[in-house]
Structure 1
Amino acid sequence: MVHEKSLLVVDDERSFVDLVSRVLRREGYGVLHGKDGIDAFSSLFLHSPSLMLIDLCLPCITGLEVIEQVRGDQKTADVPIVAMSGDPSLLERAIAMGADAILAKPFSHEALKSVVARHLGEARTQDPPIGCESPS
């Protein structure tokens, strides 16, 4: 099955990646995954996903560092980024560094589906879905 849009999910907790991937695949998306910032960069450049969901607490290269570098590279600067964390202060920093949206862990399947659809569709708005925030 060919998917029009592929998503990159980056988190070092495999069970979390598997759960998020299952939810998104049921929505018809292709899902790539990575366990750290190095995987995130590789997948971004090799596969050009339509959107990246990234945990902010990753080994080696943090999610915040990935966001900063992605936004600083013209080849990847326009990729929508959804930052994920249970730490509100990290989520605030992610927005300041250029994340398009945040998901506070734990989040519902509906919040996940809503933020992904919002940032992939033509109707990209600033109003956050329940359980998520977008920059103003």
Structure 2
Amino acid sequence: MNKILLVDDEPNILLSLDFLFKKEGYQVLIARDGEEAMALIRDEIPDLIILDIMMPKVDGYEVCAFVKENYLKTKVVFLSAKSKEKDLQKGLALGADKYLTKPFSTKEIVAEVKKLLN
């Protein structure tokens, strides 16, 4: 069973994604900021991380760089309200496998995750 880590400081997004991915049969882990995410990544080594950018303590860019330096097999999907071209380019330059913007389509995010994990 693939393990997905959801990292976001918005409880409603975590709730909906948690429900969505559990329904799809994934094991779901949750972190509410970048610091908590990095601790969970060290302990659990998820297969894929869905990562917000703007968060307290440590932002998503830092988390992505940490993952790509230490856990090459782990896929990273940014899910952010930052939708400018420069934000997208920065995320992909840091090694993100996909960059999706909020508001998001649940169908699209499930399809992208399945594509990255298969």
| TM-score computed with the length of structure 2 as normaliser | 0.93
Report the 3-state secondary structure (helix = DSSP H, G, I; strand = E; otherwise coil) of the residue aligned with 2:9: coil
Unaligned runs of 5+ in 1: 122-136
Q: Which amino acid aligns with 1:93?
A: K
Q: Percent identity, aligned pairs only?
A: 30
* Equivalent position SS for 1:102: strand
Query: Which residue is 2:82 aligned to?
Result: 87
Radius of gyration: which is bigger? 1
Cα distance, 1:42 vs. partner? Answer: 1.2
Separation of aligned partners in 1, 2:47 and 2:72: 12
State the match for 1:77 in structure 2. 72
1:20 aligns with 2:27: no
Taking only aligned residues, the RMSD between alpha carbons, in angstroms, comes to 1.0
- Residue identity in the other structure for 1:54: L
Normalised by the length of structure 1, the TM-score is: 0.81
Shift of 1:86: 1.6
User: Quick one: distance in 2 between partners of 1:115 and 1:33?
Assistant: 19
How many matched pairs?
116
Which of 88, 110, 115 is residue 113 of structure 1 equivalent to? 110
Note the C-alpha offset of 1:6: 1.1
Moved over 6 A (4+): none
Give, as a single letter, the amino acid of the residue that structure 1 aligns with 2:67. Answer: V
